[in-house]
Structure 1
């Protein structure tokens, strides 16, 4: 959350993940179940034993492209026939091809990996799903967590299609570092004092080295992982899947991808549900400041709940507890705690460990467990949480390339500055907005200011004039994509309709609120748009 580099957790700012994966941090005991919402897998496995009794007619193994008119250069892409293969648990997988450069489609190609769960009832069409990030694997989201991504009603009416956007996972992907190098990049500690000129120079060198490695190991793709290119890919996938219009369910960053599609192709918008919205018009600095405020507020909500219950590691008022957390972060910033595996817990990694459970209120008890251990001088649980956030397994390997993809996409989706004076002024604003954690979410521009490729567009409002109604879902105390962004996106869109969920956590659909679920299901399945915000 914030921007690439050393502010929020990770060494070069993990929390730069401005709309982190839509994860349900299911933290059982001291085991962090990693980020592609593994909890949903439990339910999916529980259902597979009964599925054969209710299987619908076998879905076609080849796609039927729409056959719409496109340029001669794009025709080979839009007319390609996908061949689906069984990949277990009733799912089918395939790979599509897209132009590397949409402005010059006759050059190189990229691969886009897809997985689908065929409709179990009367089919409405295809529903493409994106879990967020940027850098989240929609392929894994559907394959491993289908029942978390969508409910039974959507699975009955749609072929639920997960895909890895360009740069991500099983598609043509960004590659930068080996695991040991990534450990240093995410968890390593700078030598110089935070905020000093020497500290800024340290981070600048580290960020430049990372960008150079990404360029060397990824090649030309690195310059074409922007969200506009990904939105063009979405239209291609829509067409080759055989849908005249796009039906899409996007979480977190996926809301920006969906809104970008609507701006580019308003006449081809079918039903777009955008949950946990990102405001397309915000600058990188605004994103960091608003997210810092969101996580600070979520931390205060956790503490109010903790102090009112039992086994809370804090005493006194919420303000007293926030002061304790601030002192703890400051302490490990200068005197890191060594974990069993030898890694040192500094302030950035500790903040990652704090933020990870704040995504869902159900994980707050695990946050208490982590605080208890760190206050007692034990760094192991904090590293388990930070590893879960960063997709690092217990054996030191990384489960996916989401960190690299996150950086690569954000670096070409926003503009950044390399002026230390401006960064310090922005840091002061962030610290004022979030006095406890803001200090560790600053100077994020460093990560992308010297990236091999630059942002060439303009961050502005998305109106999508002429598009069919688009549903925007916002949670009032969502720390990762604060509610004000959902309000802003719904207002910007000419046809935006807001559904508010009053509650905690990141995103709202398909959790426990029947009001939200009904609004989203009725919209996607029937095209029904609430006459007014139901205020769930």
Structure 2
């Protein structure tokens, strides 16, 4: 479910604050007070009604990628909003949520907040990437487009930090396919060490308050501080889980929600993983069919033999990585680069290029795709996306320590995605979360429409590899919302240039009218 865009790196220390907007806001910062608006929980009034100091966005960039995104964009405003570290103790330590806004240009309805998924992806960067799509659209005219970096992510302070950049490079070379008892023990030892480094480099108190339970409360603070009585929201991938939990927690505070690329609220972790494997297998087969029609296809002209050709091409990397300009392409990175490319048919061309290079003993394109997945910039600095993904997952999901069950899930996953079979027997290995230093804080997704929730719109893509189509059908049913089916091969689609989908989604956000039952694009 992880999706898109490099984030920032440096872990900042937690600090106690006595006021919501501490100190001099600084030159070029404009103070704005629009809240409190709408419902305000008792004891949180100072957060819901805080002033926000808006200024330029360059100070929020800490990588070559983000600096390029924010450069020369005078229409963008950035700020940080104060929230409690622990909502059970709002008088205690506070943290800050990074926020980016592109103001409406016409008859403003309010703010449109968005989350691009992950967990761990930057909503600020996602908002910047969507600006070209909304410049001349009704969304850009009627809404302030607002991206926020969830706690622990991107420009929010502090950030999750587990590994250094050098440690992350080294970790990517560690294949961990030894299925022997000794190999399993070694992998579990490494997972335990990783969890320990997360606790060492990010405080346990912060890790304990990092999950979706807390993100949806931050989202409600943002709603009010931005001056909106009701929330208008677009969530992609894991962002649909944020939306569903918000709907369960604050149903009366919702104005409109577009949930695109749904996480199925009815599936357990094992079933969800297997379903995702089947989704990537479907995407691989679509790629193989496309590739087979080309004279330069790296996997040959017979799609039925593509999976075996792929395994034959990638498995040698387990024993011998490929040298790439002072680095190495490992088996893990090759698989990660392929998975990155399978998120969208627009990346099939570079995927074929990468596989063709691998046949020639080269790995630059697949390594670049893997770098994109992990948020590694050209200077060798990593975003926090991988560490944040793990930290959020470990407090959001039940922990499975039954090795027999884990082995069965591994077997089912290989059966669902045979192109990813590394050739070793499936075994049950305790993952990082089994050793996580703080307890699970998950808030269940709704199992029925929350009382008082207005109609929401779910968009689901028939060929989505990461969040399969049926998950969207399930979420729409649970929330009692409308469903728009998109026939395509990609992960999420709204505001990505598909006119039919954009028209339906925008019409709903502006006018609150759902499409007719059975609507398809």
Range of TM-score over shorter length: 0.7 to 0.9
Mark the CA change 1:139 to 1:364 in structure 2 (over 3 Å): closer, same or farther: same
- Is contact 1:65-1:80 (8 Å) kept? yes
Moved more, 271-280 or 378-387: 378-387
> What's the CA shift for 1:377?
1.5
SS of structure 2 residue aligned to 1:83: strand
Quickly say closer, same or farther: Cα 1:338–1:431, change in 2 above 3 A.
same
Given that residues 112 and 170 in structure 1 are in contact (C-alpha distance below 8 angstroms), is that contact kept between their aligned partners in structure 2? yes
Deviations along 1:388-437, one digit per CA (max 9) or x if unpaired, are 11111233221x21111111101111112233322212111111112221
Task: Determine the structure 2 residue equivalent to 1:333.
Answer: 318
Deviation per CA, 1:180-218, whole angstroms, max 9, x where unpaired? 01112233334xx53222222222122222211111221
Look up the match of 2:168: 182
Q: Name which structure has the greater RCO, CA cutoff 8 Å, separation 6+.
A: 1
In structure 1, the partner of 2:269 is: 284
Q: How many residues align?
A: 480
In structure 2, C-alpha distance between the alignment counterparts of 1:472 and 1:442, rounded to whole Å? 36
Alpha-carbon spacing, 1:445–1:259, altered in 2? closer, same or farther (3 Å): farther
- Do the aligned partners of residues 198 and 279 (structure 1) sit closer, same or farther apart at CA in structure 2, a change above 3 Å counting? same
Q: Which moved more, 1:449-458 or 1:151-160?
A: 449-458
Residue aligning to 2:2 = 20
Q: Show the 5 A alignment for 1:143-182.
A: 143-147=128-132, 152-172=137-157, 173-182=159-168
TM-score normalised according to structure 1 size: 0.85
Report the counterpart of residue 32 of structure 2 in structure 1: 62
Unmatched 5+ residue regions in structure 1? 1-18, 24-33, 37-59
Find 2:356's aligned residue among 345, 365, 372.
372
Q: Which residue of 2 aligns with 1:245?
A: 230
Alignment partner of 2:209 out of 203, 224, 234? 224
The match for 1:384 is: 368
Asked if structure 1 preserves the Cα contact closer than 8 Å seen for 2:130 and 2:495, the reply is no
| Residue 70 (structure 2) aligns with | none
| Alpha-carbon offset, residue 89 of structure 1 | 2.1
1:146-201 C-alpha deviation (Å, 9 max, x unpaired): 225887321111011111111111112211221001112233334xx532222222
Please give the residue correspondences for 1:216-365 in structure 2 after superposition, counting only pairs within 5 Å. 216-219=200-203, 220-346=205-331, 348-365=332-349
Residue by residue, what CA displacement relative to the aligned partner does 1:344-384 show, whole Å, maximum 9, x if unpaired?
Answer: 522x2211011111111111111110010111221222211
Q: Identify which of 415, 429, 439 aligns with 1:432.
A: 415
> Where in structure 2 are there 5+ consecutive unaligned residues?
8-29, 58-72
Question: 1:322: how far off?
Answer: 1.3
Whole-angstrom CA distance in 2 between matches of 1:327 and 1:298: 19
Could you tell me which residue of structure 2 aligns to residue 31 of structure 1?
A: none
Aligned: 1:470 with 2:440: no
Q: Assess, with a 3 A threshold, how the Cα gap between structure 1 residues 110 and 392 changes in structure 2: closer, same or farther.
A: same
Question: Counterpart of 1:206?
Answer: 190
Q: CA deviation at 1:465?
A: 2.9
Structure 2 Cα separation of the partners of residues 408 and 345 of structure 1: 24
Secondary structure of 2:78 counterpart: strand
> Which of 27, 52, 55 matches 1:85?
55
Match for residue 466 of structure 2 among 480, 491, 499: 480
8 Å CA contact 1:263, 1:464 repeated in 2: yes
**What SS does the aligned partner of 2:483 have?**
strand
Change (3 A) 1:151 1:101: farther
Q: C-alpha displacement at 1:68, in angstroms?
A: 4.8
Q: Aligned in 2, Cα 1:316/1:143: closer, same or farther, shift over 3 Å?
A: closer
- Counterpart of 1:493 in structure 2 is 479
Distance 2:220 2:427 in 1: 36
TM-score (norm: length of structure 2): 0.87
1:517 deviation in Å? 0.9
Aligned to 1:47: none
How far apart are the structure 2 equivalents of 1:156 and 1:67? 22
3-state secondary structure, aligned to 1:166? coil
Contact 2:188 2:430 in 1 (8 A): no
204 and 149 in structure 1: CA distance in 2 versus 1, 3 angstrom threshold: farther
The 1:202/1:422 distance shift into structure 2, 3 A limit, reads same
> Relative to 1, partners in 2 of residues 1:459 and 1:65: Cα closer, same or farther, differing over 3 Å?
closer
Aligned partner of residue 252 in structure 2, secondary structure: helix
- For residues 445 and 271 of structure 1, do their structure 2 counterparts lie closer, same or farther at Cα, with a shift above 3 Å needed? farther
Distance 1:177 1:149, change over 3 A: farther
After TM superposition, give the deviation of residue 335 of structure 1 in Å. 3.5
8 Å CA contact 1:157, 1:525 repeated in 2: yes
| Cα deviation, residue 61, structure 1 | 5.0
| 1:257 positional shift | 0.5
